Amino acid sequence: MKMDSTKCLAYKIEFQRQPYKFLKKLKDNELKLRIKKGIYDIPKDPYKKTKKLQGLPQTIRRIRIGKYRIIFEIDELDCIIIIHEIGLRANVYS
């Protein structure tokens, strides 16, 4: 049985600067934990419970945590999830 070479068995998570700073500054510990849990659940199945962003490649996706959005990219070649941005819905898409 031949395995699909584009399917990663395990993903590594990398943070861009903005999401790292956002989480560091966030005062609401309960919200911070919910966001972190959402981020660390992404590698289990990055295409499930996430949505593709319209007009962008299939690998650029988002997940919703309450009023907040986490924008991330799936790098299938290197098996990496890159977290690009975290913020309120109104701010993330602009």
User: Predicted confidence band at 48 (pLDDT cuts at 50, 70, 90)?
Assistant: confident
Does residue 5 sit within a domain?
A: no
- Cβ atoms within 10 Å of 25's Cβ, excluding its own: 8
Measured CA to CA in angstroms, residue 5 lies from 35, 50, 53, 70, 78 at distances of: 30, 22, 24, 27, 11
Number of structural domains the chain divides into? 1
Q: What does the pLDDT look like over 76-93, one tens digit per residue?
A: 999 999 999 999 988 887
Its pTM stands at 0.87
Does residue 3 sit within a domain?
A: no
User: Predicted confidence band at 49 (pLDDT cuts at 50, 70, 90)?
Assistant: confident
Q: What does the pLDDT look like over 63-72, one tens digit per residue?
A: 999 999 999 9
Does residue 39 sit within a domain?
A: yes
The confidence score (pLDDT) of residue 92 equals 86
- Domain range for residue 60? 12-92
